Structure 1
Amino acid sequence: MAEQRFIIEMGMGNDLYGQDYTKAAARAIEDAIRHSSIPMFEVLGVDHARMRVLVTVGVQEPDKLDCAALANVLAHGQVEVRAVHGGLNVVNPDSGRVTVIASAAVEAFLDPALVAGL
C-alpha cells in the first residue's frame, strides 16, 4: 500500500525589514511545528527516518527561496521543500519598505505497513 499522510501543520512567518524570503519561510515552518509533539514514533517503535516530510512554502517570489536551507530547519525525516507562489508582500506606504509574509504547510507521510498490527 502507498504511504499515507498522518500529519499536516500550517504556519506563517515574516521578515519585517530585510525582504528575505528564506528567513520568512523558515519562520513559517518553525511556526507550523513549534507546538507539535508526536509521541507516536516512540510509542510504536517507528524510526523518524522512515517518515517522508513534504514542506510547501508560499511566497510572492518563490525563486528567491533557498529550499535546501529550509530543509535543514526540520530535524527528522526525509525532507523535501517546494516553493510556490503565495504569501504576501506588504508595502509600507510611508517608507516603501516591504514586509515579506510566507505561509507553510508541513506534511508527514508513512507507509501504513510500518504500524500495521501494533
Structure 2
Amino acid sequence: MSSPKEPKISVVEIGMGIDLHGQNATVAATRACRNAIETNSLPGLARLLPNGDFSKMRIDVKLGVPLPFLNDVNVDVVQKQFPYGSVNVTIEVGGLVCSSGVVLEEQGDREGDDRAIIVVAAVAVRC
C-alpha cells in the first residue's frame, strides 16, 4: 500500500522468463522483465508525469526466483532492461525449477545438470 506522498501505481505488468540451459537466474529474470513490458506502449503516462518527463517514473520490480538461485540475480543487469525511470528491484522466493529434459553442455549446462530456471516478474510503474 502506498503512503500519501508516494506516487500511486499507474500500471502493473506481469512477465515470465526462462533459462532452459545454463542455469542463469539473471537471464531468466531479464527475460521475465522484458516479457512484462516488451509489447506495451503507454503514451498516457506522459500526462501523469511532471512535465511529461519519463525519467520521473518510478519502477518497482518484484522478482520471484527459485530458492537455489535467489542470490544469483545481477540486479544491475535487470535494471538495464528499463529505458526510463528509476528502477527498484526486490527479489523473493518464487518461480520454479524443472527439468529441461536434456543436458546441453554446449549451451552452458553444467555436466549432468538439466535444470531450467523460471522467474516471474511483477512490474509496477508509479507516476
Q: TM-score, normalised by structure 2?
A: 0.79
Q: Which position in structure 2 is the counterpart of 1:56?
A: 62
RMSD of aligned alpha carbons: 1.7
> CA 1:41 to 1:22, structure 2 compared with 1: closer, same or farther past 3 Å?
same
Q: Which position in structure 2 is the counterpart of 1:90?
A: 98
86-95 vs 19-28, greater mean Cα deviation: 86-95
Structure 1 or 2: more strand by fraction: 1
Distance 1:43 1:63 in 2: 38
* Paired residue type of 1:29: C
Residues 21, 100 of structure 2: 8 Å contact kept: no
Q: TM-score, normalised by structure 1?
A: 0.85
Secondary structure of 1:32's match? helix
Q: Percent identity?
A: 31
Large movers: runs of 4+ above 3 Å: 41-45, 92-96
Distance 2:95 2:74 in 1: 16
* Paired residue type of 2:85: G
Distance 1:43 1:87 in 2: 35
Distance 2:102 2:43 in 1: 48
TM alignment of 1:37-116, pairs within 5 A: 37-43=41-47, 45-60=51-66, 61-92=69-100, 96-110=113-127
Q: Which position in structure 2 is the counterpart of 1:116?
A: none
Number of residue pairs the alignment of both structures matches: 110
